[in-house]
Structure 1
């Protein structure tokens, strides 16, 4: 009997942060915060780290209207999987909040977790820029209703953005940019026949 143990899965460790958000024309709200969720396919198991998270409320009112809004929200997670299908993605919902505590959606951003790349010097890690996409009303009547009710259009399920086939008919506009810094450590992939570092 062969005493060798065959690897049955590989692991993916992610560490980084949601760094900041930038709105070229200003966020049109006093404070900004983000809700994030890690979403992966059925073959992926989240072993450690939170699947959901919430940043603090931040503002750029002390500077120019289009200055970066800094979050520096740490993200750490470890996955294991038998297949790269359904590679994990980070889905971020960006909200604004006025002085009275009223929340409004500013947009959504998404990014696939990096395939590889880990550097000891955090300052030299490459930045990932994800566009913040804001849903648009499908017609003038819906636009007028949204204006009268002072409620921005929202997606019923933001995860529809993760599937390119499902989000084809969505009407979205770019509202800003979300800046992220993520690094990856992968183990056991080559034993399963995956070689992505070539």
Structure 2
């Protein structure tokens, strides 16, 4: 009896949003969501969620620790529109107003295994100095109506932003039936720099050794 070839592949991602570093604000929490192409479908797990509130640590690190879990499984027939994780961080300013502290997004890792990402966050800027002062005074800072906008290229060129903070996220990735459909998603080499053949070097190149002999 012949076994039919698979028509879809599956991507399972677990992990956690570990911590964040922000100069301003306190009592931070975040919401996350996933965005992907039309051929992708989430078949298990949460596509959107809100974390608990955490306070700044009292030690010299001054970090915010969430350790909030992520667990989702996608299926697709086309790698185009590879899923992205979008984070929106909120907290309180010096006046006690709840404001956005940062946005960030990243593609889910393209290879199986464990991965850690340090994501720089940013916030939208007001169009004028007066608007910026009023936003600071009233606590109503500019926000994106749809956070998924930051994972798209369209319309980003007209948006003024500034960097603010950093978030650490860890991923554990499992893939199914990618190779059967002709996609090579093997683990990346441990020393990719030295495994790349060196060009325009006299003498034979020792692949993986990181040097050459005359």
Q: TM-score range by the shorter chain?
A: 0.7 to 0.9
For 1:53-106, what per-residue CA distance to the aligned partner results, in whole angstroms no more than 9, with x for missing partners?
Answer: 111111115234x62210000101110000011111000000003699742110
Following superposition, the deviation at residue 145 of structure 1 comes to 2.7
Gaps of 5+ in 1: 119-124
In structure 2, relative to structure 1, the CA distance for the partners of 1:174 and 1:79 (3 Å cut) is same
Pairing of 1:98-177 with structure 2 (within 5 A): 102-118=97-113, 125-177=114-166
In 2, Cα distance between the equivalents of 1:190 and 1:113? 18
What stretches of structure 1 move > 6 A for 4+ residues in a row?
98-101
For 1:7-50, what per-residue CA distance to the aligned partner results, in whole angstroms no more than 9, with x for missing partners?
Answer: 11000000100000012xx2x32310010001111101101100
Pairing of 1:77-92 with structure 2 (within 5 A): 77-92=72-87
Match of 1:49 in 2: 45
In 1, Cα distance between the equivalents of 2:38 and 2:112? 24
- Given that 2:112 and 2:186 are in contact with CA atoms closer than 8 Å, whether structure 1 keeps it comes out as no
In structure 2, relative to structure 1, the CA distance for the partners of 1:63 and 1:84 (3 Å cut) is same
Pairing of 1:8-47 with structure 2 (within 5 A): 8-23=7-22, 26=23, 28-47=24-43
1:192 and 2:181 equivalent? Answer: yes
In structure 2, relative to structure 1, the CA distance for the partners of 1:98 and 1:135 (3 Å cut) is closer
* Equivalent position SS for 2:157: coil
Equivalent pairs counted in the alignment come to 187
Q: Provide the alpha-carbon RMSD of the alignment.
A: 2.0
- Given that 2:25 and 2:92 are in contact with CA atoms closer than 8 Å, whether structure 1 keeps it comes out as yes
TM-score, length-scaled by structure 1: 0.87
